Amino acid sequence: MRSDREQAVFEAGIKLGALYHQWVGTPISRKSAASVERAIEQAVVLQPFVEEITVRLDRNLMTENAFGYSELSGLMFDVEIITRVGFTYCHARLAPENGYPLMRIVECNELTGISHN
């Protein structure tokens, strides 16, 4: 049986991996980037265990082809996601690191008690 922490980490990783492979190659321009960011966020947040997601696309990497658009690449992503399983929260990120679109766990926290003042 997996712990809530293991499941929260798994959920964050699988969501980032699916997001990456689903959206890379999408036609995009600087003009359409904001709507694509929102579409990705709105799609991913519907999935189980996702508490929050923020998607930013690097518009500086969007070089238009002869038809006026670019293709979304992994290096354009800056994504932060928070998943929750039980009382465990996992914060993960997809962002460029050393020229590679790296996915990593930022931190995991378990809420153990509530303080009443």
Q: What is the mean pLDDT of the chain?
A: 94
Sign of CA dihedral 58, 78, 56, 65: positive
Which pLDDT value is given to residue 114? 54
Per-residue model confidence (pLDDT) at position 113:
58
Alpha helices in the chain (DSSP H): 4-23, 33-44
- Give the Å distances, CA to CA, from 105 to 74, 80, 90: 17, 10, 7
Give residue-wise pLDDT tens across range 32-60. Answer: 999 999 999 999 999 999 999 999 999 99
Q: Which domains, ranges and CATH numbers included, belong to the chain?
A: 4-110 (3.30.1300.20)
The string of pLDDT tens digits covering residues 16-31 is 999 999 999 999 999 9
Enter the pTM of the model: 0.90
Q: Residues 6 or more apart from 42 whose CB is under 8 A from it? A: none
